[in-house]
Amino acid sequence: MRTFWGLMRAYWFSDRWKEAWTLTIVIALLTALSSKAGVWFAVALGELGNSIAFLHDAANTHPLQTILTNAGILVLLVVLKDAVFTGVRNLVSTTLHRKWRGWLNNQFNQALLDGNHTHFHAQHGSAAGGIVAPDNIDQRIQESIKDMTGGAIGLAMGVLGVATSLYFIGENLIGSSVEVKGLEFLGSYGTAVLAFLAVATYVPLNTWIAVKLGRLLERLNVRMQQAEGSYRSELTTFLRRSFHVAASHGEGVQKSMHDRLYVDIDKTWGRLNVVNTSYTSFELIYNFVGARIVAYAPGLVSFIHNRLDYKGYITGSEMVAQLISQCSWFIHVMPAIATLRANSQRVTELANAIESVQHPREFYQQTGRSDFSYAAQNPVFGLTIQKLELAHQGEDATPFLSAANLRFRRGEWTFLKGESGCGKTSLIKAINGLWPYGRGTIVFPEGVASFYAAQEVKLQQVSLKQLVCLPGSEHDHADMQVAAALHKAGLGDFIEHLADESREGKIWDQVLSGGQKQKLVVARIILQQPGLLFLDEATGALDPEGKVAFHQAIKDNCANVTVISVMHEAVAPRSLSGEEFYHSVVSIADGVATKKPLAPSLPRELTTILAQPRPTEDKWLRFSRRLKQK
């Protein structure tokens, strides 16, 4: 699905090919019947015109009855063509649209949400190999796929309509053709040849004009989608950080940002409107000239020389008009083609981005050094890191963090310490395969589940039970197990709402405070029982007592878990009894990470003071060092 045609045909060659081809065949049959009904309509229209023209003819013994009969037949044909054939075809085509879009949506969801973390790499990877990180992925999946599939089906029905009309109308034109004076060498095919010649001259010339305008429409449609996507994305982000905007009185800055983004929409929209208006005017003039002048010209000479009666002239002209209309399908749908190409471009760009990051290591190696190796060993030996270097993008980028050899034993709790920006979080990301550039070997304990708890917790719109059971399914654990985990994490008040996706009209992401969300993470840890736990400032929203409770809950309920933790505190928290939670500390200084056992415990009073950030913190740290030396 990395090319336009690959994207178009994928559904028809998938595991749901029977469904796709059945609906397609039904649409084709209804389109053919609709084209045949168009021929019947032209014949009936000729009959009605003829009965009106000879209303006062002496040979016409039942003039009113003839007119009413022909009018009734014409109405019945309109109902048959538009209400039955075209109406049912519309129902079947919209069903195909729904099925095709659903299949494509599922394919992209599976590709983005695979175990390779494709959704992460596709957004955060730098441009490499001509593949640029796609903007507004949500818009591409929701709107672009929907509009692309609908547009493609409509255009395909148009092509099929042209083919069937050429067959049925052409057959009738040839059958009713007569000789044209001055073109006797054509014999009885004179009017048919003139009709086909008129269509072959008039339609391609105007199609060339339509293509020129269509290319401009395509470029403007792509630009419009990008502008709309950027504006919507910023609105979504703004609503998520609404509190921060209000707290900082940042409404003025936010408004200027919205205004700036909307200016792009407005300018592009204005240009698009001008081109659309020009195209509409061109199409209206084209339709009138084609249906009322070009269509009536081929049979006019024969009608003037009395080689073609009025009925035959009207019928033939109406058929030529229908043939021009059908063959002008490309002109009529040029705006739709421009939109289709714009949407397909957005979707294929996403497909290419997804495909390009299926092998993250090779992808990142195109823009920098990425030589991480991941292996497994006997769980007795825990987690091992060897010759690790982390860098930013660029082949010659200097490593900002290195670790020669770090080993974390089973059941060991390690505290990562260092100045802000020294690379503590980057180290945890690299261990978990979420840092792109650098090198080194990470050896995991074989068969041991790991769990990554970040500072910011975003909750999906699912039931509370499912939120606790993540990353597994809510069917993996009994209600009693989930309730027990919530109770141990300090969220017992919410147990009765396990099956609810919301509370008082708000989803759980809006109901729970920052501290409660981090307690929810504790409930997940207790329920999942990981053997390897990464805490990336996972207690940032908790008060000192809450941080102690957070650690104590893990200590009491997760035996032999290996913990690697990043916190803002200068000193790791201790239990209420004064016992240390952590056994060792990894210090990062001057770009080098070194591991050593945690220093002997300090008096609780001094530890409490040190744990509180304040301007005089350096003085207390120097005082603590002197105490250690003594």
| For residue 610, pLDDT beyond 50 | no
Contact 384, 412 (CB under 8 A): no
pLDDT of residue 95: 92
pLDDT band at 57 (very low <50, low <70, confident <90, very high): confident
pLDDT of residue 595: 92
The region of weakest confidence among 75-89, 400-414, 514-528, 589-603 is 589-603
Q: What is the DSSP letter of 440?
A: E
| For residue 127, pLDDT beyond 60 | no
| For residue 210, pLDDT beyond 50 | yes
pLDDT band at 623 (very low <50, low <70, confident <90, very high): very low
| For residue 615, pLDDT beyond 60 | no
**601 φ/ψ angles, rounded to the nearest 5 degrees:** -65, 140
**What's the CA gap between 249 and 556, in Å, rounded?**
43
Those residues whose C-beta lies under 8 Å from the C-beta of residue 528, and which sit 6 or more positions away, are 449, 451, 471, 472
pLDDT of residue 616: 42
Q: Among the ranges 49-63, 198-212, 484-498, which has the highest mean pLDDT value?
A: 484-498
Tell me which of 441 and 460 has the higher pLDDT.
Answer: 441
| For residue 186, pLDDT beyond 90 | no
pLDDT digits (tens, 9 = 90+) for 60-73: 778 788 888 888 98
pLDDT band at 19 (very low <50, low <70, confident <90, very high): very high
pTM of the entire predicted model: 0.64
SS3 for 251-264, per residue?
A: HHHHHHHHHHHHHH
**What's the CA gap between 410 and 564, in Å, rounded?**
11
| For residue 189, pLDDT beyond 50 | yes
| For residue 606, pLDDT beyond 50 | no
Mean pLDDT over residues 162-185, rounded?
Answer: 82
Exposure b/e, 35-73, CB count within 10 A at least 16 = b: bbbbbbbbbbbbbbbbbeeeeeeeeeeeeeebbeebeeb
How many whole angstroms from its chain centre is CA 40? 45
Q: Among the ranges 64-68, 133-137, 275-279, 389-393, which has the highest mean pLDDT value?
A: 389-393
pLDDT digits (tens, 9 = 90+) for 372-415: 999 999 998 899 999 999 998 888 889 999 998 999 999 999 99
Mean pLDDT over residues 512-521, rounded?
Answer: 90
| For residue 600, pLDDT beyond 70 | no
Contact 108, 350 (CB under 8 A): yes
pLDDT of residue 627: 45
| For residue 622, pLDDT beyond 70 | no
Mean pLDDT over residues 581-600, rounded?
Answer: 89
Question: Which string of DSSP letters, residue by residue, matches 302-358?
Answer: HHHTTSS-HHHHHHHHHHHHHHHHHHTHHHHTHHHHHHHHHHHHHHHHHHHHHHHTS
| For residue 629, pLDDT beyond 70 | no
Sign of CA dihedral 415, 416, 419, 421: negative
**What's the CA gap between 521 and 457, in Å, rounded?**
8
pLDDT band at 247 (very low <50, low <70, confident <90, very high): confident
pLDDT of residue 617: 42
Pairing status of strand 532-536 against strand 450-454:
parallel
Q: What is the mean pLDDT of the chain?
A: 83
Mean pLDDT over residues 282-296, rounded?
Answer: 86
**What's the CA gap between 533 and 526, in Å, rounded?**
11
pLDDT band at 192 (very low <50, low <70, confident <90, very high): confident
| For residue 350, pLDDT beyond 70 | yes
pLDDT of residue 440: 94
pLDDT digits (tens, 9 = 90+) for 455-495: 888 888 889 999 999 888 889 999 999 999 999 999 999 99
Percentage of residues in the chain having pLDDT higher than 90: 27
pLDDT of residue 533: 95
pLDDT of residue 528: 92
Q: Among the ranges 15-29, 202-216, 454-468, 556-570, which has the highest mean pLDDT value?
A: 15-29
Give the number of residues written for the chain: 630
